[in-house]
Amino acid sequence: MDGQGYYTCWLTVGTTREKTRFMNALAELLGPIENPRYLIVRRSRGFGKRLDIHAVPEELGRKKETAETFLEEWKKRVGRAELIYTRTPEGRTQLLKARMRALSAAFVPEPERISGWR
């Protein structure tokens, strides 16, 4: 993170296709929630409780096992969270709530994606 709150990440190895897949997955994770198969829900504790909901990228959400592996890695690196399957009535309700919350963030700039050669 730089001093202005921006994060930068890149892949140093991989094919152009792999790098594109990575950038697409990152954009799905950080961008507006559309229609993912799985959601990751993170609730903070303490003062000013916060709820963060992220879409599991399509590449990782195609299979339940892969989505669960992603969740386990998320827990190691980010913190406690739960995985919600959005193809059930309860999951669909959570997805709709997540989309409604996203409408409140409509004036927050989306993550910027820059693809370039180094």
pLDDT tens across 94-115, in order? Answer: 999 888 887 655 555 666 666 6
Whole-Å CA distances, 96 to 15, 23, 83, 112: 36, 25, 15, 25
For residue 61, give both structure tokens.
Answer: 């959400």
Mean pLDDT of 17-41: 92
Report yes or no on 65 lying in a domain: yes
Report yes or no on 4 lying in a domain: no
- Predicted confidence (pLDDT) per residue in 43-102, tens digit: 877 666 778 899 999 999 999 999 999 999 999 998 899 999 999 999 999 999 888 887
Report yes or no on 97 lying in a domain: yes
Report yes or no on 112 lying in a domain: no
Report yes or no on 118 lying in a domain: no
Report yes or no on 37 lying in a domain: yes
Number of domains in the chain: 1
CA dist 99 and 97 (Å) reads: 5
Q: Residue 36's pLDDT is what?
A: 96
Whether the predicted model's global pTM rises above the 0.85 cut: no
Q: Residue 105's pLDDT is what?
A: 57
Contacts of 48 (CB under 8 A, 6+ apart): none
Q: What is the edge-to-edge ordering of all strands in the sheet holding 82-85?
A: 51-55, 38-43, 82-85
Report yes or no on 100 lying in a domain: yes
Domain with 85, as residue range(s), is: 16-104
Report yes or no on 11 lying in a domain: no
